[in-house]
A = this chain, B = another copy of it.
């Protein structure tokens, strides 16, 4: 399968983790080298990589540290793993890294309690966990491609970390004639910077449009399918995703365009009402490339994501749970 750099934006090679600097994409394809926990915390704090990349960084940091500390084992190693988890959890206070690091600490503690080799248990489990995720994402890419027919014109918003671009590559192999439209995705331009770039890199026919152009595209029947990702999923099917997703969902309903969502099934949150709306720093709206876009003092409001009710969703393409 042809792979987009955004699909797996951090990979281990020997004792180094190479993390794609997504802030430079598409101008440069540059990887930041991470060798220990401090450097991992730094790369997360500086937001060089986004949600999925950060998740990879967090898990891979344990592997880096096991490599760097061959002398540790048993109780000492369990303690070291606890300290790494603590540092990573503090890298972004509002981010639920503890859910991930907690699992690794749990594996270490479990091995210790059972009198097993802590090092071997953690290595095996982290590697297995990463491989499982990789495999399930690959499976979903196949299912996304299966949901795209020849003649389709697919609108997407923000970025789904490689999966849609790779599905586009599969469609090309299958000689399907498919067009893609991607939104700019203001204020951060993820669509213009990441999605456009990776779809084009995969050889897809892609056109960039302003976030304002959706109604016209749909009214003129220029798109016949919407595929977007989701950041958080609720038990009832509601989901959170980048700001702008909700209005695309409403427009899809109005213009009878099927609205497909890539989901990660979860029962932890009952419904969208239980997801707090994250109001991000207005600077992100008012600045571009770290320069003020507008003169004078401007009051902005930047809700970071939308919570979309499940009744707008035509179909979920869920990641398989094994």
Question: Would you call B244 and A210 a contact (CB within 8 A)?
Answer: yes
In Å, the complex CA distance between A192 and B288 comes to 13
CB-CB < 8 A to A243: which residues of B? 210, 212-213, 216
Question: Which of A68-76, A118-126, A246-254, A260-268 makes up part of the contact surface?
Answer: A246-254
CB-CB < 8 A to A253: which residues of B? 254
Set B184, B294, B306: member contacting A192, Cβ < 8 A:
B294
Q: How many residues of A contact B (CB 8 A)?
A: 51
Known contacts A186-B211, A209-B301, A219-B246; 14 further A-B pairs (Cβ under 8 A): A181-B301, A186-B186, A196-B298, A200-B296, A207-B299, A208-B299, A209-B300, A211-B211, A212-B247, A215-B247, A216-B243, A250-B250, A250-B254, A288-B288
CB-CB < 8 A to A111: which residues of B? none
CB-CB < 8 A to A301: which residues of B? 181, 207-209, 213
A contact residues vs B (CB 8 Å cutoff): 26-27, 181, 184-187, 189, 192-193, 196-197, 200, 206-216, 219-220, 242-244, 246-247, 249-251, 253-254, 277, 285-286, 288, 293-296, 298-303, 306
In Å, the complex CA distance between A294 and B189 comes to 9
CB-CB < 8 A to A214: which residues of B? 247
CB-CB < 8 A to A184: which residues of B? 186, 285
Question: Would you call B210 and A186 a contact (CB within 8 A)?
Answer: yes
Copies of this protein in the complex: 2
CB-CB < 8 A to A250: which residues of B? 215, 250-251, 254
Interface class of chain A by DSSP:
mixed
CB-CB < 8 A to A246: which residues of B? 215-216, 219
In Å, the complex CA distance between A207 and B279 comes to 14
Closest-by-CB residue of B relative to A299 is B207
Closest-by-CB residue of B relative to A27 is B295
Closest-by-CB residue of B relative to A253 is B254
Closest-by-CB residue of B relative to A208 is B300
Question: Would you call B26 and A216 a contact (CB within 8 A)?
Answer: no
Asked if A285 meets B247 with Cβ closer than 8 Å, knowing A184-B186, A306-B216, the reply is: no
Set B26, B251, B277, B302: member contacting A210, Cβ < 8 A:
B302
Set B185, B219, B298, B300: member contacting A212, Cβ < 8 A:
B185
Question: Would you call A208 and B303 a contact (CB within 8 A)?
Answer: no
Question: Would you call B26 and A285 a contact (CB within 8 A)?
Answer: no
Rounded to whole Å, the gap between the CB of A203 and the closest CB of chain B is 14
Rounded to whole Å, the gap between the CB of A232 and the closest CB of chain B is 15
In Å, the complex CA distance between A216 and B219 comes to 22
In Å, the complex CA distance between A249 and B214 comes to 12
In Å, the complex CA distance between A299 and B180 comes to 11
CB-CB < 8 A to A298: which residues of B? 192, 196, 208
Rounded to whole Å, the gap between the CB of A207 and the closest CB of chain B is 5
Question: Would you call B212 and A244 a contact (CB within 8 A)?
Answer: yes
The 9 closest A-B pairs by CB, nearest first: A212-B244, A215-B246, A215-B247, A27-B295, A208-B300, A186-B210, A211-B211, A212-B243, A250-B254
